[in-house]
Structure 1
């Protein structure tokens, strides 16, 4: 019997723990979106779970599929860079860091949904940890993500993205995610030793 699928599932279980809640929320529909999305007013009124749960809510199926494709890309590129528990820790810490940054620095932002901020953090952390074994590739990927983030800060979302996902792209979430990945790398590196 071929062990490949089981090995992949075991190795990528951290990514499955990210993907499955997003899929379940999408199946539940609009009531879950209303209850779980990042909502500035609700968070300030004490609904703190939204600092984390908002990342697993999506605008529509295309938005979800694009985010899951990004998650798959991170898993393919960097899954061996960190142990599974470190990936999960990164997810659990990066998500609220992105939301807290949105709350603090983007006060006009009322709602936010999607994994993209978190994915940027995972990507940066994975690339930084991978520098030791894939130096040229990791440096190239870090330069590419830095160029993307710079583009977004000066020009807005990459052309066509808003139309594709069916709503406004919150580019600062990408920046805050990347910064969270950078900030958390010290903690992650200690765990990989």
Structure 2
């Protein structure tokens, strides 16, 4: 698809929640001093019952570069796949990816005691977009789907880029990318099953 300003998905249902996520991330960064302590993902505090941190931590960032990188990715994914977004599916996708990412970190990556950033959720959103491309018979969807899993596998075997770690002034939580992508995959599978059942019911009625 050729990208022009005209074919970008500016409609409210496609863009409102993307803008909301960006706004909340920027707001959290501006008030980081006040918000980071009560909202950051911290394994120990979550185990003590502060469960909201499994969601709120995704909106916090280590520095301005970290925020800008994630916002750029958020907007790029919207430009690529925003036509598939709706208020309902994007909110459920975001929540599913965020919670799966945090649950994966908590149960399977206990060495990560603190985590911030949208990157895990963004991998889930990426998976959904690629699968929607595939569903709509866009061959680039296969390339995107395979490419993101190859990237994740490379990170798992060889670690994250040292340049990126230096830029964001923190270790890149590569496991967050893995679990966020798993969250996006699970949501996408359930999304397609739901719509497949809905179509069967419509045809039979």
TM-score by length of 1: 0.91
Equivalent residues in 2 for 1:125-164 (5 A)? 125-164=128-167
Instruction: Calculate the aligned-residue CA RMSD, in Å.
Output: 2.0
Cα deviation for residue 16 of structure 1 reads: 1.2
SS of the equivalent of 1:160 reads helix
Larger Rg: 2
Gaps (5+ residues) in structure 2? 1-5, 197-205
How many pairs are equivalent?
Answer: 191
Aligned pairs for 1:29-40 within 5 A: 29-40=32-43
How many angstroms apart in 2 are the aligned matches of 1:8 and 1:162?
A: 36
SS of the counterpart of 2:135?
coil
1:21 paired to 2:24: yes
Give the 3 Å change call, closer, same or farther, for CA 45–156 of structure 1 in structure 2.
same
Rounded to whole Å, the distance in 1 between the matches of 2:121 and 2:67 is 13
Contact 2:13–2:85 (CA under 8 A) maintained in structure 1 = no
Name 2:44's counterpart in structure 1.
41
4+ residue segments displaced more than 6 Å: 3-6
Q: Does residue 114 of the first structure (1) align with residue 78 of the second (2)?
A: no
Deviations 1:161-183 (A, max 9, x none): 10111110000000001111111
The CA deviation at 1:29 is 2.0
Q: Aligned equivalents of 2:79 and 2:159: distance in 1?
A: 28
**Shift of residue 5 of structure 1?**
9.6
| Distance of 1:62 and 1:183 partners within structure 2 | 30
Structure 1 unpaired stretches of 5+: none
Question: Which residue is 1:73 aligned to?
Answer: 76
Name the stretch that deviates more: 183-192 or 68-77: 183-192
